Structure 1
Amino acid sequence: MTTETTSGTTGPYEAIEKLGTSPLWRYYGELFTAEPRSKAVPHLWSYRELRPHMLHFAGALSLEEAERRVLMLVNSGMTEPPATVNSLYAGIQIILPGETAQAHRHTANAFRFIIEGEGAYTTVNGERVHMRPGDLLLTPGWHWHDHYHEGDGPMMRLDGLDYPLVNALEAASSSSTTSAPSGPGGRTTCPAGSSSTAGSTPCGSSRTTSTPRSATTRGARRTRPSPASATTRPAAATTVSCWNTATRTPAAPSCPPSPAGSRGSARASTAPHTATRPAPSTTSSRARAARK
Protein backbone atom coordinates (compact mmCIF):
# COMPACT_ATOMS: atom_id res chain seq x y z
CA MET A 1 0.00 0.00 0.00
CA THR A 2 1.38 3.37 -0.93
CA THR A 3 1.92 5.94 1.80
CA GLU A 4 1.46 8.94 -0.46
CA THR A 5 -1.66 10.75 -1.57
CA THR A 6 -2.19 12.76 -4.67
CA SER A 7 -0.41 15.67 -2.99
CA GLY A 8 2.57 13.46 -2.20
CA THR A 9 2.98 14.96 1.31
CA THR A 10 0.24 13.37 3.47
CA GLY A 11 -0.06 9.77 4.62
CA PRO A 12 -3.31 7.89 3.91
CA TYR A 13 -4.39 7.70 7.57
CA GLU A 14 -3.83 11.42 8.05
CA ALA A 15 -5.71 12.11 4.85
CA ILE A 16 -8.83 10.15 5.82
CA GLU A 17 -8.77 11.65 9.35
CA LYS A 18 -9.00 15.12 7.83
CA LEU A 19 -12.05 13.88 5.94
CA GLY A 20 -13.77 12.89 9.18
CA THR A 21 -13.29 9.12 8.86
CA SER A 22 -11.41 6.39 10.71
CA PRO A 23 -10.44 2.83 9.81
CA LEU A 24 -12.71 0.33 11.56
CA TRP A 25 -9.98 -2.33 11.65
CA ARG A 26 -8.07 -0.27 14.20
CA TYR A 27 -11.03 -0.19 16.66
CA TYR A 28 -12.87 -3.40 15.88
CA GLY A 29 -11.83 -5.20 19.08
CA GLU A 30 -12.89 -2.24 21.27
CA LEU A 31 -16.25 -1.64 19.61
CA PHE A 32 -17.32 -5.30 19.51
CA THR A 33 -16.16 -6.95 22.70
CA ALA A 34 -16.39 -10.67 23.40
CA GLU A 35 -18.53 -10.03 26.50
CA PRO A 36 -20.27 -7.05 28.15
CA ARG A 37 -18.07 -4.59 29.98
CA SER A 38 -19.24 -2.00 32.50
CA LYS A 39 -17.50 0.90 34.17
CA ALA A 40 -19.67 0.43 37.26
CA VAL A 41 -18.23 -1.67 40.08
CA PRO A 42 -20.11 -3.58 42.80
CA HIS A 43 -20.83 -1.50 45.90
CA LEU A 44 -23.13 -1.61 48.92
CA TRP A 45 -24.53 1.61 50.41
CA SER A 46 -25.69 1.34 54.04
CA TYR A 47 -28.65 3.52 54.99
CA ARG A 48 -27.82 3.00 58.67
CA GLU A 49 -24.40 4.56 58.11
CA LEU A 50 -25.67 7.35 55.85
CA ARG A 51 -28.61 8.44 58.02
CA PRO A 52 -26.54 10.40 60.65
CA HIS A 53 -24.84 12.35 57.86
CA MET A 54 -28.23 13.14 56.32
CA LEU A 55 -29.43 14.59 59.64
CA HIS A 56 -26.20 16.59 60.01
CA PHE A 57 -26.49 18.32 56.63
CA ALA A 58 -30.22 18.89 57.13
CA GLY A 59 -29.36 20.94 60.21
CA ALA A 60 -26.31 22.61 58.70
CA LEU A 61 -27.76 23.62 55.31
CA SER A 62 -31.01 25.40 54.56
CA LEU A 63 -32.96 24.86 51.34
CA GLU A 64 -31.73 28.27 50.20
CA GLU A 65 -28.17 26.98 50.47
CA ALA A 66 -28.95 23.58 48.98
CA GLU A 67 -32.09 23.39 46.85
CA ARG A 68 -32.16 19.61 47.28
CA ARG A 69 -30.41 18.04 50.28
CA VAL A 70 -29.32 14.80 48.63
CA LEU A 71 -26.43 12.46 49.24
CA MET A 72 -25.74 10.93 45.84
CA LEU A 73 -24.92 7.23 45.69
CA VAL A 74 -21.88 7.52 43.45
CA ASN A 75 -20.28 4.45 41.98
CA SER A 76 -16.49 4.61 42.24
CA GLY A 77 -16.24 3.62 38.60
CA MET A 78 -18.61 6.39 37.46
CA THR A 79 -17.67 9.62 39.20
CA GLU A 80 -17.70 12.12 36.30
CA PRO A 81 -20.53 12.73 35.89
CA PRO A 82 -21.69 11.04 39.11
CA ALA A 83 -23.93 8.01 38.59
CA THR A 84 -24.93 4.86 40.43
CA VAL A 85 -24.94 2.59 37.39
CA ASN A 86 -24.42 3.37 33.72
CA SER A 87 -28.08 4.27 33.08
CA LEU A 88 -29.40 5.31 36.53
CA TYR A 89 -28.58 7.77 39.27
CA ALA A 90 -29.79 7.34 42.87
CA GLY A 91 -29.55 9.46 45.99
CA ILE A 92 -31.11 9.84 49.44
CA GLN A 93 -33.01 13.08 50.00
CA ILE A 94 -34.16 14.55 53.29
CA ILE A 95 -36.93 17.11 53.92
CA LEU A 96 -37.63 18.57 57.35
CA PRO A 97 -41.07 19.52 58.74
CA GLY A 98 -42.42 22.78 57.34
CA GLU A 99 -40.11 22.78 54.32
CA THR A 100 -41.04 23.10 50.66
CA ALA A 101 -38.67 21.98 47.93
CA GLN A 102 -38.75 24.32 44.94
CA ALA A 103 -40.75 23.27 41.90
CA HIS A 104 -38.83 22.17 38.84
CA ARG A 105 -39.02 19.76 35.93
CA HIS A 106 -36.58 17.81 33.79
CA THR A 107 -36.64 15.44 30.86
CA ALA A 108 -35.30 12.61 33.00
CA ASN A 109 -37.89 10.31 34.54
CA ALA A 110 -37.79 9.81 38.31
CA PHE A 111 -39.01 7.46 41.02
CA ARG A 112 -39.21 7.96 44.79
CA PHE A 113 -39.02 5.12 47.29
CA ILE A 114 -40.06 6.36 50.74
CA ILE A 115 -37.78 5.13 53.53
CA GLU A 116 -39.08 6.95 56.61
CA GLY A 117 -41.31 9.83 57.66
CA GLU A 118 -44.99 10.76 57.61
CA GLY A 119 -46.94 13.85 56.56
CA ALA A 120 -45.07 14.72 53.35
CA TYR A 121 -46.33 14.74 49.79
CA THR A 122 -45.18 15.64 46.31
CA THR A 123 -47.19 17.63 43.82
CA VAL A 124 -46.90 16.51 40.20
CA ASN A 125 -48.45 18.91 37.67
CA GLY A 126 -50.78 20.20 40.39
CA GLU A 127 -51.86 16.78 41.68
CA ARG A 128 -50.96 15.91 45.26
CA VAL A 129 -49.47 12.48 45.95
CA HIS A 130 -48.91 11.56 49.61
CA MET A 131 -45.78 9.74 50.71
CA ARG A 132 -45.59 7.03 53.36
CA PRO A 133 -42.83 4.51 54.17
CA GLY A 134 -42.76 1.72 51.60
CA ASP A 135 -44.52 3.77 48.90
CA LEU A 136 -43.11 3.97 45.38
CA LEU A 137 -43.94 7.18 43.48
CA LEU A 138 -43.28 7.80 39.80
CA THR A 139 -42.62 11.22 38.28
CA PRO A 140 -42.74 11.21 34.45
CA GLY A 141 -40.24 13.30 32.58
CA TRP A 142 -40.96 17.01 32.03
CA HIS A 143 -43.71 17.12 34.69
CA TRP A 144 -43.57 19.98 37.19
CA HIS A 145 -43.07 18.68 40.74
CA ASP A 146 -42.21 19.95 44.19
CA HIS A 147 -42.26 18.52 47.71
CA TYR A 148 -44.00 19.58 50.93
CA HIS A 149 -43.59 18.30 54.46
CA GLU A 150 -46.36 18.97 56.98
CA GLY A 151 -45.44 16.17 59.39
CA ASP A 152 -43.34 16.13 62.55
CA GLY A 153 -40.12 14.21 61.86
CA PRO A 154 -37.69 14.15 58.94
CA MET A 155 -38.78 12.57 55.67
CA MET A 156 -36.14 10.52 53.85
CA ARG A 157 -36.50 8.75 50.54
CA LEU A 158 -34.47 7.16 47.79
CA ASP A 159 -34.64 9.16 44.55
CA GLY A 160 -33.79 7.51 41.25
CA LEU A 161 -33.45 9.24 37.87
CA ASP A 162 -32.46 7.99 34.44
CA TYR A 163 -30.49 11.13 33.63
CA PRO A 164 -27.32 9.17 32.72
CA LEU A 165 -29.30 7.56 29.91
CA VAL A 166 -31.02 10.83 28.94
CA ASN A 167 -27.69 12.64 28.94
CA ALA A 168 -26.11 9.94 26.80
CA LEU A 169 -28.92 10.48 24.29
CA GLU A 170 -28.25 14.25 24.49
CA ALA A 171 -31.89 14.86 25.42
CA ALA A 172 -31.34 16.53 28.81
CA SER A 173 -33.28 19.68 29.64
CA SER A 174 -34.64 21.26 32.85
CA SER A 175 -36.33 24.35 34.21
CA SER A 176 -37.45 25.64 37.61
CA THR A 177 -39.75 28.22 39.11
CA THR A 178 -39.79 30.22 42.31
CA SER A 179 -43.52 31.04 42.15
CA ALA A 180 -45.26 30.67 45.48
CA PRO A 181 -47.90 27.99 45.98
CA SER A 182 -51.51 29.09 45.73
CA GLY A 183 -52.44 27.66 49.11
CA PRO A 184 -52.76 24.42 51.05
CA GLY A 185 -56.09 23.52 49.42
CA GLY A 186 -54.73 23.37 45.88
CA ARG A 187 -51.12 24.32 45.47
CA THR A 188 -49.97 25.01 41.96
CA THR A 189 -46.36 24.44 41.13
CA CYS A 190 -46.29 25.75 37.56
CA PRO A 191 -45.33 29.19 36.27
CA ALA A 192 -48.23 31.26 35.03
CA GLY A 193 -49.24 30.32 31.49
CA SER A 194 -46.90 27.35 31.26
CA SER A 195 -47.90 23.87 30.25
CA SER A 196 -46.29 20.49 30.00
CA THR A 197 -45.36 18.70 26.82
CA ALA A 198 -47.81 16.89 24.60
CA GLY A 199 -49.34 13.81 26.12
CA SER A 200 -49.04 14.92 29.75
CA THR A 201 -51.42 16.73 32.07
CA PRO A 202 -51.48 20.52 31.50
CA CYS A 203 -49.80 22.45 34.24
CA GLY A 204 -52.31 24.11 36.57
CA SER A 205 -55.15 22.06 35.10
CA SER A 206 -58.56 21.66 36.69
CA ARG A 207 -57.66 18.26 38.13
CA THR A 208 -58.17 18.31 41.87
CA THR A 209 -55.68 16.96 44.33
CA SER A 210 -56.15 13.42 45.46
CA THR A 211 -57.47 12.57 48.90
CA PRO A 212 -54.93 10.80 51.12
CA ARG A 213 -55.60 7.11 51.60
CA SER A 214 -56.20 5.80 55.07
CA ALA A 215 -54.04 3.10 56.55
CA THR A 216 -56.88 0.62 56.33
CA THR A 217 -57.72 1.28 52.68
CA ARG A 218 -54.18 1.76 51.41
CA GLY A 219 -53.29 -1.16 49.22
CA ALA A 220 -56.73 -2.78 49.55
CA ARG A 221 -57.99 -4.61 46.49
CA ARG A 222 -60.83 -2.90 44.69
CA THR A 223 -63.88 -5.16 44.43
CA ARG A 224 -67.01 -4.90 42.36
CA PRO A 225 -70.39 -4.84 44.11
CA SER A 226 -72.26 -8.10 44.00
CA PRO A 227 -75.31 -8.29 41.72
CA ALA A 228 -77.58 -8.51 44.74
CA SER A 229 -76.28 -5.22 46.15
CA ALA A 230 -76.00 -3.48 42.81
CA THR A 231 -79.60 -4.04 41.75
CA THR A 232 -82.78 -4.40 43.75
CA ARG A 233 -85.14 -7.10 42.69
CA PRO A 234 -88.85 -6.22 42.68
CA ALA A 235 -91.21 -7.85 45.14
CA ALA A 236 -92.79 -11.15 44.21
CA ALA A 237 -95.17 -10.59 41.32
CA THR A 238 -97.52 -12.72 39.31
CA THR A 239 -95.62 -14.48 36.56
CA VAL A 240 -96.77 -16.63 33.69
CA SER A 241 -95.92 -20.26 33.31
CA CYS A 242 -94.37 -21.13 29.98
CA TRP A 243 -95.81 -24.62 29.68
CA ASN A 244 -99.19 -26.02 28.75
CA THR A 245 -99.63 -29.07 30.91
CA ALA A 246 -101.84 -30.84 28.37
CA THR A 247 -99.70 -30.46 25.25
CA ARG A 248 -96.33 -29.90 26.94
CA THR A 249 -95.67 -26.90 24.74
CA PRO A 250 -94.85 -23.23 25.48
CA ALA A 251 -98.02 -21.30 26.15
CA ALA A 252 -97.19 -17.73 27.13
CA PRO A 253 -96.39 -15.07 24.47
CA SER A 254 -92.98 -14.43 26.07
CA CYS A 255 -92.01 -18.07 25.80
CA PRO A 256 -90.47 -19.81 22.78
CA PRO A 257 -92.94 -20.35 19.91
CA SER A 258 -95.35 -23.24 20.27
CA PRO A 259 -95.51 -25.95 17.62
CA ALA A 260 -98.11 -25.38 14.92
CA GLY A 261 -101.60 -26.46 15.91
CA SER A 262 -100.96 -26.60 19.64
CA ARG A 263 -103.50 -25.06 21.96
CA GLY A 264 -103.54 -23.97 25.52
CA SER A 265 -103.88 -20.91 27.65
CA ALA A 266 -101.37 -19.33 29.97
CA ARG A 267 -101.76 -20.29 33.58
CA ALA A 268 -101.30 -17.56 36.18
CA SER A 269 -98.91 -18.43 38.96
CA THR A 270 -97.15 -16.66 41.79
CA ALA A 271 -94.16 -19.01 41.50
CA PRO A 272 -91.01 -17.82 39.73
CA HIS A 273 -90.58 -18.49 36.03
CA THR A 274 -89.70 -22.13 35.50
CA ALA A 275 -89.00 -24.32 32.52
CA THR A 276 -89.26 -27.65 34.31
CA ARG A 277 -91.58 -30.23 32.80
CA PRO A 278 -94.55 -31.13 35.01
CA ALA A 279 -95.41 -34.75 35.72
CA PRO A 280 -97.77 -36.22 33.10
CA SER A 281 -101.43 -36.34 34.09
CA THR A 282 -103.82 -39.26 33.63
CA THR A 283 -105.82 -37.27 31.07
CA SER A 284 -102.78 -36.63 28.89
CA SER A 285 -101.85 -40.33 29.10
CA ARG A 286 -105.30 -41.34 27.84
CA ALA A 287 -105.07 -38.79 25.03
CA ARG A 288 -101.80 -40.27 23.90
CA ALA A 289 -103.27 -43.77 24.02
CA ALA A 290 -106.27 -42.65 21.92
CA ARG A 291 -103.95 -41.08 19.30
CA LYS A 292 -102.07 -44.32 19.01
Structure 2
Amino acid sequence: MRFNKLDLNLLVALDALFRLRSVSRAAEQLHMSQSALSSSLARLRDYFNDELLVQVGRQMELTPRAEVLQEAVRDVLVRVNTTITAMPYFDATQSDREFRIFVSDFSMAVLFPHVLALAQEEGGKVRFHLLPQTRQPQRTLEQGDADLLVIPQHYCSPDHPTDALFDEAFSCVVWNRSAHALRGEMTLEQYLAAGHVVMQPPGMDRSFEHMFMQGSGLTRRVEVTSFSFLAAPYLVVGTERVATVHRRLAREVSRGLPLTLLPMPMPMQAQRMEQVVQWHKYRSQDPGLIWLRDLLQRAVLRMDEGGAGQTPA
Protein backbone atom coordinates (compact mmCIF):
# COMPACT_ATOMS: atom_id res chain seq x y z
CA MET A 1 0.00 0.00 0.00
CA ARG A 2 1.26 3.46 -0.91
CA PHE A 3 0.52 6.95 0.35
CA ASN A 4 2.07 9.94 -1.40
CA LYS A 5 4.33 7.47 -3.24
CA LEU A 6 5.58 5.98 0.05
CA ASP A 7 5.23 2.25 0.57
CA LEU A 8 3.58 2.20 4.01
CA ASN A 9 5.13 -1.19 4.76
CA LEU A 10 8.43 0.66 5.02
CA LEU A 11 7.17 2.51 8.11
CA VAL A 12 7.37 -0.73 10.11
CA ALA A 13 11.01 -1.12 9.10
CA LEU A 14 11.69 2.53 9.85
CA ASP A 15 10.16 2.25 13.31
CA ALA A 16 12.30 -0.79 14.13
CA LEU A 17 15.43 0.98 12.90
CA PHE A 18 14.61 4.07 14.97
CA ARG A 19 14.07 2.00 18.12
CA LEU A 20 16.97 -0.43 17.78
CA ARG A 21 19.43 1.72 15.81
CA SER A 22 20.88 -1.39 14.29
CA VAL A 23 20.21 -2.97 10.91
CA SER A 24 21.08 -6.45 12.15
CA ARG A 25 18.88 -6.31 15.27
CA ALA A 26 15.98 -4.68 13.40
CA ALA A 27 16.20 -7.32 10.68
CA GLU A 28 16.15 -10.07 13.31
CA GLN A 29 13.11 -8.58 15.04
CA LEU A 30 11.24 -8.20 11.74
CA HIS A 31 12.29 -11.67 10.54
CA MET A 32 14.00 -10.17 7.48
CA SER A 33 17.44 -10.64 6.01
CA GLN A 34 19.93 -7.83 6.64
CA SER A 35 20.21 -7.23 2.92
CA ALA A 36 16.44 -6.83 2.57
CA LEU A 37 16.31 -4.36 5.46
CA SER A 38 19.31 -2.45 4.09
CA SER A 39 17.41 -2.17 0.82
CA SER A 40 14.37 -0.82 2.71
CA LEU A 41 16.58 1.73 4.46
CA ALA A 42 18.00 2.85 1.12
CA ARG A 43 14.47 3.39 -0.21
CA LEU A 44 13.52 5.36 2.90
CA ARG A 45 16.63 7.53 2.58
CA ASP A 46 15.75 8.22 -1.02
CA TYR A 47 12.12 9.09 -0.19
CA PHE A 48 12.96 11.46 2.68
CA ASN A 49 16.13 12.75 1.01
CA ASP A 50 17.94 12.22 4.31
CA GLU A 51 20.36 9.65 5.72
CA LEU A 52 17.98 9.05 8.70
CA LEU A 53 20.57 6.90 10.53
CA VAL A 54 24.31 7.49 10.37
CA GLN A 55 27.20 5.48 11.75
CA VAL A 56 28.88 7.16 14.72
CA GLY A 57 31.69 5.03 16.09
CA ARG A 58 30.24 1.56 16.72
CA GLN A 59 26.61 2.58 16.74
CA MET A 60 24.06 4.30 14.55
CA GLU A 61 22.56 7.66 15.50
CA LEU A 62 19.42 9.42 14.29
CA THR A 63 19.77 12.49 12.10
CA PRO A 64 17.82 15.64 13.09
CA ARG A 65 15.18 14.75 10.47
CA ALA A 66 14.86 11.25 11.92
CA GLU A 67 14.44 12.68 15.43
CA VAL A 68 11.44 14.64 14.13
CA LEU A 69 10.01 11.60 12.33
CA GLN A 70 10.47 9.11 15.16
CA GLU A 71 7.45 9.97 17.31
CA ALA A 72 5.20 10.57 14.29
CA VAL A 73 5.99 7.14 12.82
CA ARG A 74 5.42 5.40 16.16
CA ASP A 75 2.17 7.30 16.68
CA VAL A 76 0.84 6.19 13.28
CA LEU A 77 1.75 2.55 13.89
CA VAL A 78 0.24 2.50 17.40
CA ARG A 79 -2.98 4.00 16.07
CA VAL A 80 -3.19 1.50 13.21
CA ASN A 81 -2.36 -1.42 15.50
CA THR A 82 -4.95 -0.54 18.13
CA THR A 83 -7.62 0.00 15.48
CA ILE A 84 -7.01 -3.23 13.59
CA THR A 85 -6.25 -5.63 16.45
CA ALA A 86 -8.89 -4.44 18.93
CA MET A 87 -11.62 -7.06 19.31
CA PRO A 88 -15.27 -5.91 19.49
CA TYR A 89 -15.69 -7.73 22.80
CA PHE A 90 -13.51 -9.35 25.45
CA ASP A 91 -14.07 -12.46 27.53
CA ALA A 92 -11.33 -13.02 30.11
CA THR A 93 -12.44 -16.64 30.57
CA GLN A 94 -11.71 -17.40 26.91
CA SER A 95 -8.84 -15.05 26.04
CA ASP A 96 -5.16 -15.90 26.52
CA ARG A 97 -4.14 -12.29 25.92
CA GLU A 98 -1.02 -11.07 27.71
CA PHE A 99 -1.24 -7.67 29.40
CA ARG A 100 2.00 -5.71 29.77
CA ILE A 101 1.82 -3.57 32.93
CA PHE A 102 4.61 -1.30 34.17
CA VAL A 103 4.44 -1.21 37.96
CA SER A 104 6.62 -0.50 41.01
CA ASP A 105 7.46 -3.26 43.45
CA PHE A 106 5.31 -1.37 45.99
CA SER A 107 2.14 -1.80 43.91
CA MET A 108 3.24 -5.28 42.89
CA ALA A 109 3.42 -6.27 46.58
CA VAL A 110 0.26 -4.64 47.95
CA LEU A 111 -2.17 -4.50 44.99
CA PHE A 112 -1.33 -7.15 42.42
CA PRO A 113 -1.83 -10.22 44.63
CA HIS A 114 -5.49 -9.10 44.78
CA VAL A 115 -5.58 -8.45 41.02
CA LEU A 116 -4.30 -11.95 40.27
CA ALA A 117 -6.57 -13.60 42.84
CA LEU A 118 -9.66 -11.89 41.44
CA ALA A 119 -8.76 -12.83 37.88
CA GLN A 120 -8.35 -16.47 38.86
CA GLU A 121 -11.55 -16.56 40.90
CA GLU A 122 -13.44 -15.32 37.86
CA GLY A 123 -11.94 -17.99 35.63
CA GLY A 124 -9.64 -15.65 33.76
CA LYS A 125 -7.16 -17.24 31.35
CA VAL A 126 -5.32 -14.01 30.57
CA ARG A 127 -1.61 -13.60 31.30
CA PHE A 128 0.11 -10.74 33.12
CA HIS A 129 3.60 -9.46 32.30
CA LEU A 130 4.63 -7.14 35.15
CA LEU A 131 7.54 -4.91 34.19
CA PRO A 132 9.66 -2.37 36.13
CA GLN A 133 9.00 1.32 35.63
CA THR A 134 11.40 3.37 33.55
CA ARG A 135 12.87 6.87 33.60
CA GLN A 136 10.25 8.07 31.12
CA PRO A 137 7.21 5.87 31.76
CA GLN A 138 5.06 7.82 29.29
CA ARG A 139 7.40 6.70 26.52
CA THR A 140 6.38 3.09 27.09
CA LEU A 141 2.81 4.11 26.24
CA GLU A 142 3.83 6.16 23.22
CA GLN A 143 5.93 3.31 21.85
CA GLY A 144 3.24 0.70 22.43
CA ASP A 145 5.42 -1.21 24.92
CA ALA A 146 2.91 -0.95 27.77
CA ASP A 147 -0.80 -1.69 28.03
CA LEU A 148 -1.07 0.10 31.37
CA LEU A 149 1.07 2.08 33.79
CA VAL A 150 0.34 1.92 37.53
CA ILE A 151 2.12 5.00 38.75
CA PRO A 152 1.91 8.11 40.97
CA GLN A 153 -0.10 10.89 39.37
CA HIS A 154 2.97 13.13 39.44
CA TYR A 155 4.76 10.96 36.85
CA CYS A 156 1.83 10.69 34.42
CA SER A 157 1.80 12.10 30.91
CA PRO A 158 -0.76 14.88 30.37
CA ASP A 159 -1.44 13.46 26.90
CA HIS A 160 -3.13 10.23 28.01
CA PRO A 161 -6.12 9.41 30.25
CA THR A 162 -5.92 8.14 33.81
CA ASP A 163 -8.15 6.59 36.48
CA ALA A 164 -7.46 7.15 40.16
CA LEU A 165 -6.81 3.93 42.08
CA PHE A 166 -6.02 4.90 45.67
CA ASP A 167 -4.31 7.45 47.88
CA GLU A 168 -1.25 6.38 49.82
CA ALA A 169 0.32 7.86 52.93
CA PHE A 170 3.69 7.11 54.55
CA SER A 171 4.96 5.77 57.86
CA CYS A 172 8.31 5.84 59.59
CA VAL A 173 9.61 2.27 59.89
CA VAL A 174 12.21 1.44 62.57
CA TRP A 175 13.66 -1.68 64.18
CA ASN A 176 11.49 -2.57 67.19
CA ARG A 177 14.52 -2.57 69.52
CA SER A 178 15.84 0.80 68.37
CA ALA A 179 15.78 3.92 70.52
CA HIS A 180 13.11 5.36 68.22
CA ALA A 181 10.80 2.40 68.87
CA LEU A 182 11.37 2.49 72.62
CA ARG A 183 10.39 6.19 72.71
CA GLY A 184 7.20 5.36 70.79
CA GLU A 185 7.32 8.54 68.75
CA MET A 186 9.63 10.59 66.54
CA THR A 187 9.90 14.35 66.47
CA LEU A 188 10.88 16.20 63.33
CA GLU A 189 14.29 16.95 64.84
CA GLN A 190 14.88 13.27 65.62
CA TYR A 191 13.71 12.28 62.14
CA LEU A 192 16.12 14.65 60.42
CA ALA A 193 19.00 13.67 62.72
CA ALA A 194 18.57 9.94 62.12
CA GLY A 195 20.32 7.92 59.43
CA HIS A 196 17.90 7.04 56.62
CA VAL A 197 17.33 4.17 54.22
CA VAL A 198 16.02 5.69 50.98
CA MET A 199 14.64 4.05 47.86
CA GLN A 200 15.91 5.41 44.54
CA PRO A 201 13.58 4.24 41.73
CA PRO A 202 15.59 2.47 39.01
CA GLY A 203 15.88 4.69 35.95
CA MET A 204 14.04 7.59 37.63
CA ASP A 205 15.43 10.73 39.19
CA ARG A 206 13.56 10.80 42.50
CA SER A 207 10.89 8.96 44.49
CA PHE A 208 7.67 10.69 45.52
CA GLU A 209 8.68 10.98 49.16
CA HIS A 210 12.08 12.40 48.18
CA MET A 211 10.35 15.11 46.13
CA PHE A 212 8.13 15.87 49.12
CA MET A 213 11.16 16.29 51.36
CA GLN A 214 12.84 18.63 48.90
CA GLY A 215 9.65 20.63 48.39
CA SER A 216 9.35 21.04 52.16
CA GLY A 217 12.95 22.18 52.49
CA LEU A 218 13.90 19.13 54.58
CA THR A 219 17.30 17.46 54.34
CA ARG A 220 17.80 13.91 55.59
CA ARG A 221 21.06 12.10 56.29
CA VAL A 222 20.90 9.29 53.74
CA GLU A 223 23.10 6.36 54.78
CA VAL A 224 21.66 3.56 52.61
CA THR A 225 20.15 3.77 49.12
CA SER A 226 18.11 0.88 47.73
CA PHE A 227 16.54 0.23 44.32
CA SER A 228 13.51 -1.50 45.89
CA PHE A 229 10.61 -0.14 47.94
CA LEU A 230 10.08 -3.62 49.35
CA ALA A 231 13.68 -3.94 50.56
CA ALA A 232 13.79 -0.68 52.52
CA PRO A 233 12.02 -1.96 55.69
CA TYR A 234 14.32 -5.01 55.80
CA LEU A 235 17.37 -2.75 55.77
CA VAL A 236 16.53 -0.96 59.03
CA VAL A 237 16.39 -4.18 61.09
CA GLY A 238 19.26 -4.29 63.60
CA THR A 239 20.05 -0.58 63.16
CA GLU A 240 19.00 2.85 64.43
CA ARG A 241 18.07 3.91 60.89
CA VAL A 242 14.67 5.04 59.65
CA ALA A 243 12.89 4.19 56.39
CA THR A 244 10.01 6.29 55.07
CA VAL A 245 7.72 3.64 53.62
CA HIS A 246 4.30 3.51 51.95
CA ARG A 247 1.87 2.78 54.77
CA ARG A 248 0.22 -0.24 53.17
CA LEU A 249 3.58 -1.79 52.40
CA ALA A 250 4.88 -1.02 55.89
CA ARG A 251 1.92 -2.85 57.43
CA GLU A 252 2.40 -5.85 55.19
CA VAL A 253 6.10 -6.36 55.91
CA SER A 254 5.79 -5.57 59.64
CA ARG A 255 3.75 -8.76 60.06
CA GLY A 256 6.87 -10.82 59.57
CA LEU A 257 9.69 -8.49 60.63
CA PRO A 258 10.73 -7.02 64.01
CA LEU A 259 9.58 -3.51 63.09
CA THR A 260 7.72 -0.65 64.70
CA LEU A 261 5.66 1.80 62.63
CA LEU A 262 5.66 5.41 63.79
CA PRO A 263 3.62 8.35 62.47
CA MET A 264 5.41 10.79 60.23
CA PRO A 265 6.42 13.93 62.15
CA MET A 266 4.99 16.21 59.41
CA PRO A 267 1.39 17.10 58.44
CA MET A 268 -0.06 13.88 57.04
CA GLN A 269 -2.16 15.38 54.25
CA ALA A 270 0.92 16.78 52.54
CA GLN A 271 2.41 13.30 52.31
CA ARG A 272 -0.41 11.55 50.46
CA MET A 273 0.42 10.11 47.07
CA GLU A 274 -2.27 9.47 44.45
CA GLN A 275 -1.70 6.18 42.65
CA VAL A 276 -3.35 5.99 39.22
CA VAL A 277 -3.58 3.76 36.18
CA GLN A 278 -2.77 5.28 32.77
CA TRP A 279 -3.27 3.97 29.23
CA HIS A 280 -2.77 5.23 25.68
CA LYS A 281 -5.46 7.61 24.47
CA TYR A 282 -6.01 5.50 21.34
CA ARG A 283 -6.87 2.48 23.49
CA SER A 284 -9.63 3.92 25.64
CA GLN A 285 -12.22 1.73 23.88
CA ASP A 286 -10.12 -1.46 23.97
CA PRO A 287 -12.52 -4.00 25.63
CA GLY A 288 -9.62 -5.90 27.17
CA LEU A 289 -8.21 -2.80 28.84
CA ILE A 290 -11.67 -1.73 29.99
CA TRP A 291 -11.99 -5.13 31.71
CA LEU A 292 -8.50 -4.84 33.21
CA ARG A 293 -9.06 -1.31 34.51
CA ASP A 294 -12.27 -2.49 36.20
CA LEU A 295 -10.39 -5.45 37.67
CA LEU A 296 -7.83 -3.04 39.17
CA GLN A 297 -10.59 -0.96 40.77
CA ARG A 298 -12.17 -4.04 42.33
CA ALA A 299 -8.76 -5.23 43.52
CA VAL A 300 -8.28 -1.89 45.33
CA LEU A 301 -11.57 -2.44 47.19
CA ARG A 302 -10.44 -5.91 48.23
CA MET A 303 -7.01 -4.62 49.24
CA ASP A 304 -8.59 -2.09 51.56
CA GLU A 305 -11.35 -4.24 53.04
CA GLY A 306 -11.65 -3.28 56.68
CA GLY A 307 -10.21 0.20 56.10
CA ALA A 308 -6.56 -0.71 55.54
CA GLY A 309 -4.52 2.34 54.68
CA GLN A 310 -7.06 4.80 56.08
CA THR A 311 -6.17 4.97 59.75
CA PRO A 312 -3.04 6.43 61.33
CA ALA A 313 0.11 4.30 61.51
Same fold (TM over 0.5): no
TM-score range, shorter chain: under 0.3
Q: Which has the higher helix share?
A: 2
* TM-score normalised by structure 2 residue count: 0.19
TM-score computed with the length of structure 1 as normaliser? 0.20
